[in-house]
Amino acid sequence: MLTVEKIGGTSMSALKEVIENIIYFNGQLQDRVFVVSAFSGVTNLLLENKKTKAPGVYHKLANNEDYHETLTEVANQLKSLNQSFGTLGLDVAKANDFIDRHIAKALTYLESATTMLASGYLNEGILLAAREILASIGETHSAYVLADILQRKGINAKLIDLSGFEDRRALTISERIADAFRAIDLSNCICITTGYAKGTEGIMREFDRGYSEVTFSKIAEILKPQEAIIHKEYHLSTADPGLVGIENVKPVGNTNYDIADQLADVGMEAIHPKAAKPLEMAGIHLRIKNTFEPAHPGTLITKDYISKIKRVEVITGTDQQLLIDIYDPLMTGNVGSDLAIMQLFYQHGVSYTFKVTSANSISIVIWESDFKPELITDLEKQFEKVSTEPVAMVCLLGTNMDQPGLLANAARALAKYEINIISAGVAKGKVNIQFLIERAQFKTAIIALNKVVG
Quick: pLDDT tens for 300-339. 999 999 999 999 999 999 999 999 999 999 998 888 999 9
The whole-number pLDDT of residue 290 equals: 96
The whole-number pLDDT of residue 121 equals: 60
Burial of 255 (0-12, 13-18, 19+ CB in 10 A): buried
Domains in the chain (CATH in brackets) are 3-233 (3.40.1160.10), 314-453 (3.30.2130.10)
Q: How far apart are CA 263 and CA 244, in angstroms?
A: 18
Q: Give the bridge partners for 357, in sequence order.
A: 362
Cβ pair 342, 389 in contact under 8 A: no
Instruction: Report residue 122's pLDDT band, with 50, 70 and 90 as the boundaries.
Output: low
Quick: pLDDT tens for 348-401. 999 999 999 999 999 999 999 999 999 999 999 999 999 999 999 999 999 999
The whole-number pLDDT of residue 51 equals: 82
Quick: pLDDT tens for 193-225. 999 999 999 888 878 888 999 999 999 999 999
For residue 278, pLDDT beyond 80: yes
Q: What is the mean pLDDT of the chain?
A: 94
Quick: pLDDT tens for 176-196. 999 999 999 999 999 999 999
DSSP for residue 358: -
The whole-number pLDDT of residue 423 equals: 95
The whole-number pLDDT of residue 106 equals: 94
Provide the 10 A C-beta neighbour count for residue 182.
Answer: 7
For residue 258, pLDDT beyond 90: yes
Cβ pair 440, 417 in contact under 8 A: no
Share of the chain above pLDDT 90, in %: 84
pTM: 0.91
